[in-house]
Amino acid sequence: MGLLAATLLYPLLQPSEDLEALPYDQFLARVADGEVTEVTVDNQTGRIEIRTSEGVAFTTTGPLELSAVDRQVLADSGISVIFETPQPGFAATWLPLLLPVGLIILFFVWMNRRAQGQMNGMMSIGRSRAKTYSSEKPGTMFDDVAGYDGVKQEIREVVDFLQKPEKFAEVGARVPKGILLVGPPGTGKTLLARAVAGEAGVPFLSVTGSDFMEMFVGVGASRVRDLFETARKMGRAIIFIDELDSVGRKRGAGLGGGHDEREQTLNQMLSEMDGFEASEGIVVLAATNRPDILDPALLRPGRFDRQVVVPLPELSDRRAILAVHAKGKSLADDVDLDVLARGTPGMSGADLANLINEAALIAVRENFDAISAGHLEAARDRTIMGQKRESMALTESEKEAIAFHEAGHALCAALLPTADPLHKVTIIPSGMALGMTMQLPEEERHIYRQDYIEDSLVVRMGGRIAEELEFGVISTGAQNDLEGATELARKMVREWGMSERIGPMAWGSQNQVFLGDDLMNSRDYSDATAREIDEEMHRILVFHESRCRDLLTENRSALNLVARALLEHETISGQEVERLVALAAQPASAGSEESLPAEPSPVD
């Protein structure tokens, strides 16, 4: 581009004299009058430079070859006529030739550099892609992680060992080579690893399991070698591998060959963690939510010595997590985080963070300056039930069917002794559901008694039976209820030993076959046993359906009151359902029009 520009601009940059132009015929006339003393003719361009007797210079352009008449005029005038042929300079001579040659040379230079870049990329494909964090970039600290004191204590020991190894050496203690963080998604496993990076004071190498995988076999193993070699050069270091299950899956369970890229990577990782050459001062921290599919050789002591479970947060942990995410947000005076923590069982830390943020968005949408308890309640409903579809058009017959369906669920939940307390009932479509009956447990549950599960089956049957009692027919609205009830009955018979006919036997869950593992032997019981399991599941479901029908038949007046209240107010609280049940139990007021409240009671 530079050569091309120079070629085009060179003629314009040549110095030129600023002479007045004169027509050719006037030039000849002045020659004839004797006013011209000197004429210089350019044989290449036909340019004629003229000088008069007064010392004034003019220029004109004539033919490249003067005619005989013009030559005679110049000869008769007796003036000095000079014919010259100017020689071109170096640039004008060679620049047109150098331009294509230069372009060709530049093309070959570019091709050579591109080939070298590709070769460098091929040579560096086996290098580790881990990101290194030093103590100068602390980021997250343990104080920023709410709850999980036991988990933080186990991880803090590793940090203490790397910072003060002599303290452990005096006692003869050996630091674990690997710690595996196991827990459901959203519980903060990666957040804990970031806190370790902030607290460690030693180099922290972070990499994900997918960074080892490549289309070329052996690249993952090469990256593992480079990762541990980099850590050894640092002396003491922590390696964090996120999503370990992507490379640590069981070997020998694939449908194809056994020497694929994943197995090569896993073999190299096993060797680096506790192979022939031991790695001292290097601690491997990994996180996964699928420990069941990891290779047993990876989980043995000496590689991952500890498995730290990061479960869903308990009540106290949820309270601390909500407090962390509520920082920097304007909360109204009616907000009680303790009440909110009790009302969010089973939510992970990510769910709680999303809950607070969703409440803030609702407050902004409604032009409030602070987040109120109502906004948090609406955010929880959206998180659990989905977005309300208030614009969805339902016919009156559909609304009535939904009202009796949800009233059946609500009445069973209110009357059964071991069922979870009823929180609210609504017939406003939310998410994929046309109505919702929400129950909130009073306390954390870790085991479930048989009577609780059986009452849960009755609650699930409540909507279907209520429609049958009121309209004489059933609808498709009970699809999800039947799916959940069937799954509960299957687990009672196959996994929990809650069937007298089958007895104390368990066969595990019917999960998807993993990579061909047990592909031909996914069922370890006979066809006769499978038939007995099906018959027992059918018996359990029919029995509890009969229980539900008897319960709603005995409390038919309460069912009507709750359904009418839902048709009038669309959403009622659990306390209101209990009041209507108590009201229907009184013979004098059962079924009367005065039994319905003018306004629904507020939902806690």
Q: Which of 57-61, 74-78, 378-382 has the lowest mean pLDDT?
A: 74-78
pLDDT tens per residue, range 340-360? 888 787 788 888 888 888 888
319, containing H or E segment? helix 315-326
Distance in angstroms (rounded) separating the CA atoms of residues 245 and 248: 5
Q: Which of 11-25, 64-78, 409-423, 535-549 has the lowest mean pLDDT?
A: 11-25
Alpha helices by DSSP H, listed for 60-188, are 68-77, 90-123, 149-163, 165-169
Distance in angstroms (rounded) separating the CA atoms of residues 533 and 555: 33
- Taking 70 as the threshold, does the pLDDT of residue 399 lie above it? yes
pLDDT tens per residue, range 471-519? 888 888 888 889 999 999 999 998 888 888 888 888 865 544 444 444 4
- What value does the mean pLDDT take over residues 57-80? 74
CB count within 10 Å of CB 209 equals 22
- What value does the mean pLDDT take over residues 581-602? 56
Distance in angstroms (rounded) separating the CA atoms of residues 153 and 278: 26
- Helix (H/G/I), strand (E/B), else coil: 499: coil
Measured torsion, CA atoms of residues 385, 391, 395, 398, in degrees rounded to the nearest 10:
0
Side-by-side strand order, sheet with 36-42: 20-21, 57-61, 47-52, 36-42, 80-84
Q: Which of 337-341, 426-430, 521-525 has the lowest mean pLDDT?
A: 521-525
Question: Which has the closest alpha carbon to 601: 579, 569, 583, 576?
Answer: 576
Return the pLDDT at 514: 42
Domains within the chain, CATH numbers bracketed: 2-84 (3.30.720.210), 131-252+261-309 (3.40.50.300), 315-385 (1.10.8.60), 396-508+527-595 (1.20.58.760)
Q: How far apart are the first and last CA of the chain?
A: 75
Number of Cα atoms under 13 Å in the Cβ half of residue 147? 23
- Taking 80 as the threshold, does the pLDDT of residue 260 lie above it? no
Task: Judge whether 277 counts as a catalytic residue.
Answer: no
Q: Is the dihedral of CA 215, 219, 221, 227 positive or negative?
A: negative
Distance in angstroms (rounded) separating the CA atoms of residues 169 and 247: 34
Distance in angstroms (rounded) separating the CA atoms of residues 503 and 539: 15
**Token pair for 513:** 């076959």
pTM summary value: 0.62
Measured torsion, CA atoms of residues 507, 510, 513, 514, in degrees rounded to the nearest 10:
-80
What distance lies between CA 191 and its chain's CA centroid?
A: 15
Taking CB atoms within 8 Å and a gap of at least 24, the contacts of 383-387 are 383/347, 383/351, 383/354, 383/355, 383/358, 384/438, 385/426, 385/430, 385/431, 385/433, 385/436, 385/438, 386/430, 386/431, 386/432, 386/433, 387/430, 387/431
Q: Which of 261, 263, 272, 406 is catalytic?
A: 406
Q: pLDDT band at 88, cuts 50/70/90?
A: low
Q: Which of 20-29, 233-242, 416-425, 591-600 has the lowest mean pLDDT?
A: 591-600
